[in-house]
Amino acid sequence: LETIPAIAKEIIEQTENVTFDRAHFASYGDFSLNYEIVYIVTSGDYAIYMDAQQDINLALKQQFENRQIEFAYPTEVNYWTRLSENNSGSYTVPPVMDSADNSSANG
């Protein structure tokens, strides 16, 4: 974790039309470690800005792969249930069994 700002600095300093300003481990997110990396693009040309941004992002990904620094990809599990019609003509949601209930049902 402490090497990431140095990796970013090295990459940015080697990128054309860019001046490195700072890189810090800034905060903890709910499911992330957040880094603040700041650099200045020395041209007002949007295409040059986008080229620099792409070069930096691709170089960061390559360096992370080389150093076996992995990105965590968020996952989500959704449980769907069918509504069932009751005697009054309205619909109710049947209860969902949790893993504790499921284990006793299987024996």
pLDDT in tens, the chain (107 residues): 889 999 999 999 999 999 999 999 999 988 888 999 999 999 999 999 999 999 999 999 999 999 998 877 777 777 766 666 666 666 666 666 655 544 444 44
Instruction: Give me the residue label for tokens 């810090």.
Output: 24
Phi, psi at 100, each rounded to 5°? -70, -45
Token pair for 19: 């001046």
**The model's pTM:** 0.65
- Cα Rg of the chain, angstroms: 25
